[in-house]
Amino acid sequence: MKRLVFVVGSVAALALAGCNNSNQDAVNNAELNQPAAEDLNALANDAATNAEDQVVTNQVPVPDQNAVAPDNGPNPTENEEQNVSGM
């Protein structure tokens, strides 16, 4: 059993060692497929501008904080406020 584990481990190590090759063509292709920094900056600016425009157009009007509240009837007298037994 120990020999089998050793053989399997050795084969796995050799297989992994064979995968480590520096393929410069793959590196160059990956670099070519990346967008330029200027393009990314332009896309980011466009997205920020669109987000700001959507925020401005979707704003909900805020009610006036200084508006007078409607009168809900007469205020109770001091005696009526102190009389809690009637509740």
Q: Give the model confidence (pLDDT) of 21-37 as tens digits.
A: 666 666 677 677 777 88
Residue 46 has pLDDT above 80, yes or no: yes
Q: Give residue 85's pLDDT.
A: 72
Percent share of the chain, pLDDT over 90 = 3
Q: Give residue 86's pLDDT.
A: 59
> Which tops the pLDDT comparison, 86 or 15?
15
> Which tops the pLDDT comparison, 63 or 50?
50
Residue with tokens 């967008």: 35
Model's pTM, two decimal places? 0.32
